[in-house]
Amino acid sequence: MRIGYARVSTPEQSCTLQREALEQSGCVKVFAEVASGAKAARPALTAALEDGRAGDTLVVWRLDRLGRSLGQLMALMQTLQSRQIGFHSLVEAIDTTTATGDEGLRSEQLRAATSALEGTRVASSVTVGVYWTESGIRTDVY
């Protein structure tokens, strides 16, 4: 069974895009929540993991929905591997359940993926900063 997990960081954001992508990829259940990726306590992620059984696959829209650091991601991958639950990230096309997929993710793959995510996060922050500056919004008060 494919189990989806969707997360947004703030109540103003929506899980709709993630939920639709997860459902289109064949997820039977989708657990969604509003929580910072830095938070250790994420009830929907805990529920998704508890729901998973050997042979199931945890699916996320993008790798950064699971965690913000290599350490968080490695710990989660070890948990999945020890419980014989596969993993699939739709955007990064990481899939441990395919014939060419590894039994578990290698740390090099996660490092590369988290480096790419960090680059995207930095680029997004720069774009927001440029917008604020051009809009006359004072960034020194945020």
Pick the catalytic residue: 9, 69, 107, 115? 9
Residue 22 and residue 4: Cα distance in Å, rounded?
6
| Type of residue found at 103 | E
Residue 126 and residue 124: Cα distance in Å, rounded?
5
Q: Tokens representing 115?
A: 């480096």
124 is catalytic: no
Residue 36 and residue 33: Cα distance in Å, rounded?
9
Which residues are annotated as catalytic?
9
